[in-house]
Structure 1
Amino acid sequence: MGVDTRLAELGEVDESAFAGLAQRHRRELHVHCYRMLGSFEDAEDTVQETFLRAWRRRETYGGRSTFRAWLYRIATNACLDFLARCRPEPATGGEVRWLQPYPDRLLDELRASTADGPEAVAVARETIELAYLVAVQHLAPRPRAVLILRDVLGWPARNVAELLGDSVNSVNSALQRARAGMREHLPAERQDWTSGEEDAGTRELVRRYTEASVATDIDRLARLLRDDVRCSMPPTPGLQVGRDAVVNNWVEDGFAGMTGLGAVPTAVNRQPAVAFYHRREPAGAYLPLTIDVLRISGGAITEIITFHADRFPHLGLPERLSAEGTA
């Protein structure tokens, strides 16, 4: 029995076969839910809910759309239900306290095919970077869904309207509002914030940032920051804007007095990142501390989003470094 025939008869598919069909789309659905929710863990829960709903409603699939599109419809509605229940208000003030990073090793599962043009590759990359995620979280849930379905997934307006139970005119209006909202929160230099693969200048800047951080040399670090740099540490509240504010926060937190730091370069959300470890004598090893995700524009660091040590396992980072500071 071919795939098309099987999909037209989902009501007759057993649970194991259905799971096999659905699992093919797990990663892309997870990334879709992640864009909607901004949280890796909430996206994981929502994908599980999507598969459960799909199994329970399998007899409603009539083959009018692709199985993939049907799953996206269920996933989008599951995200909207989650937002209504858990986050009735969008983010405000430029920070997203529930934001979590997404490991590049998992995004590699979604690498664009060779048939995709450069525009598709750029969209796939830019719409997973943290600045985009932060901006999206400032939109109300339904305009957020419209924006992602139309501008990221490329759905026609009539399909989005059908999913949301709305008119095409309403969807188009919501899309315009969402795009305007995104312009308010995206970096001004968005058109050139992504350069594709890391270039030599970016790698050198990350190296200098890593060395200055391990040495806790705040003066050297300050010289790497752009004047309007932004710094946050979700879920801890607080957003520092400007070099002086960021440096003052480091000083107040006692960063300059720290010793025994180690670092491992990595990448998350298609951005350079540095995982920091702190030597703990009782353990005789370097244990996870924080991970800094960097946005770099024009040869300077324009944003630092720091995540706590609980993100290390999800990112596939070592649980400790040896006494010599190696993995």
Structure 2
Amino acid sequence: MADADDAAEFARETEPYRRELFAHCYRMLGSVFDAEDLVQETYLRAWRHYDGFEGRSSVRTWLHQIATNGCLTALAKRRDADRRVLPSGLGPPEDTGTAALEPDPRQRWLQPVPDALVTPESGDPASVVAAREGVRLALVASLQHLPAKQRAVLVLRDVLAFPATEVADMLQTSTASVKSSLQRARATLKEQAPTPDHTAEPTAPQARAVLAKYIKAFENADADALTRLLLQDASIEAPPIRAWFQGVEHCIPVLRDHVLGDPGLWRMVPVAGGANGQPAAVGYLRDEEGGYQPYGVIVLDVVGDHVRRIVSFGDPRLVAVFERCGGV
């Protein structure tokens, strides 16, 4: 049947780009759930219009055009206050003694992504490293501060390496406008993340060792071990809690007095491939009956033998995403 042949051809032509499209939508939207919905919508739209695709651009360009415009439409429905951020993107760190450690459900929070969903299936080491660098938390968080069109231009040009002329065609604008938007986006991004990201690869032996020490310290409620593990200027943030902290002298009292509890309260499982190109673990909290319930995902910035930053995403829904990917 012709329809079956068309469907097979469509799948053969478009499926190789699914992970790249998912990563693109994730960078644009900052949410693993929104990105999944947008990719599904992209493929539905592409299938509906596949018989009209004339090959004037590559299939890759055509799919990214559909996905990008879908992201821009979704972002246009949000207010600036609804952008997905981390607590550190909303203001300075808090003083330990005065901070309110209550969730802020009104804020849209950035979500982590399993590396398994965004790394190429080819296994080429250079491609895997590039894919991980393109979804680092610092980068994705910074992207959310850009206007939507600038965000699209920067990702399409600097991350996906599309030529300026193709980006202009995708966004139905001029090449000059693309170049101007890219210049402004790069300047803003430099202000948001002025220092290079030296976070260790999640599969590097040293990074795995640091993650193992972190998990052991947390499960044993060992504040002293965490003190030795954190850099002096380390930071912790835990969306949906708005307050965040920087410096061991502030981080450790918060962890010791409000988070660690008794030994055995926490159970953590390493994420095999990492999250956002960084070492990560899925966390579970012991309930009153002694069972463990999903808490969320913890992502570390590891520098050498120490942790520079802890981002603890307290959203139980994320646990199912990471378990589904087979990395836990």
Q: TM-score, normalised to structure 2's length?
A: 0.80
Contact 2:203–2:279, Cα closer than 8 Å, also in 1: no
SS of residue in 2 equivalent to 1:161:
helix
Code of the residue aligned with 1:100 in structure 2: it is: Q
Please state how far the C-alpha of 1:208 moved relative to its aligned partner: 1.7
Q: Distance in 1 between matches of 2:203 and 2:212?
A: 16
Please state how far the C-alpha of 1:33 moved relative to its aligned partner: 0.5
Please state how far the C-alpha of 1:174 moved relative to its aligned partner: 1.3
Please state how far the C-alpha of 1:233 moved relative to its aligned partner: 2.1
Aligned to 1:94: 89
Is 1:207 equivalent to 2:218 in the alignment?
A: no
Superimposed CA distance per residue, residues 228-270 of structure 1 (whole angstroms, 9 cap, x where no aligned partner): 2222223343332332332233245253446443221222222
Per chain length, whose mean CA-contact separation is higher, i.e. which structure has more relative contact order (CA < 8 Å, sep 6+)? 2
- Structure 1 gaps of 5+ residues are 1-5, 320-326
Match for 1:310 among 317, 320, 323? 317
Aligned to 1:27: 19
Map of 1:143-292 to 2, 5 A cutoff?
143-186=150-193, 188-190=195-197, 192-195=198-201, 197-200=203-206, 202-257=207-262, 259-266=264-271, 267-280=274-287, 282=289, 285-292=291-298
Please state how far the C-alpha of 1:275 moved relative to its aligned partner: 2.3
- Structure 2 gaps of 5+ residues are 91-106
SS of residue in 2 equivalent to 1:50:
helix
Q: Distance in 1 between matches of 2:162 and 2:303?
A: 31
Please state how far the C-alpha of 1:70 moved relative to its aligned partner: 0.4
SS of residue in 1 equivalent to 2:301:
strand
Q: Distance in 1 between matches of 2:130 and 2:64?
A: 18
Is 1:105 equivalent to 2:126 in the alignment?
A: no
Q: Distance in 2 between matches of 1:47 and 1:128?
A: 16
Aligned to 1:134: 141
Code of the residue aligned with 1:177 in structure 2: it is: R
Match for 1:81 among 49, 73, 76? 73
Contact 2:119–2:131, Cα closer than 8 Å, also in 1: no
Q: Distance in 1 between matches of 2:321 and 2:202?
A: 24
Superimposed CA distance per residue, residues 257-292 of structure 1 (whole angstroms, 9 cap, x where no aligned partner): 46443221222222111223333463x543323331
Q: Distance in 2 between matches of 1:238 and 1:103?
A: 25
Contact 2:297–2:312, Cα closer than 8 Å, also in 1: yes
Structure 2 CA distance for partners of 1:12 and 1:256, relative to 1, 3 Å = closer
Please state how far the C-alpha of 1:45 moved relative to its aligned partner: 0.9
Contact 1:97–1:236, Cα closer than 8 Å, also in 2: no
Structure 2 CA distance for partners of 1:271 and 1:77, relative to 1, 3 Å = same
SS of residue in 2 equivalent to 1:294:
strand
Code of the residue aligned with 1:32 in structure 2: it is: H
Superimposed CA distance per residue, residues 115-147 of structure 1 (whole angstroms, 9 cap, x where no aligned partner): xxx4x5543221122222111112111111111
Code of the residue aligned with 2:110 in structure 1: it is: L
Code of the residue aligned with 2:199 in structure 1: it is: W
Contact 1:99–1:235, Cα closer than 8 Å, also in 2: no
Identity rate of aligned residues, in percent?
A: 38
Q: Distance in 1 between matches of 2:270 and 2:288?
A: 23
Aligned to 2:97: none
Please state how far the C-alpha of 1:60 moved relative to its aligned partner: 4.2
Structure 2 CA distance for partners of 1:110 and 1:242, relative to 1, 3 Å = farther
Q: Distance in 1 between matches of 2:52 and 2:14?
A: 15
SS of residue in 1 equivalent to 2:24:
helix
Say what the alpha-carbon RMSD is for the aligned residues: 3.1
Structure 2 CA distance for partners of 1:212 and 1:197, relative to 1, 3 Å = closer
Alignment coverage as a number of residue pairs: 304
Q: Distance in 1 between matches of 2:186 and 2:250?
A: 30
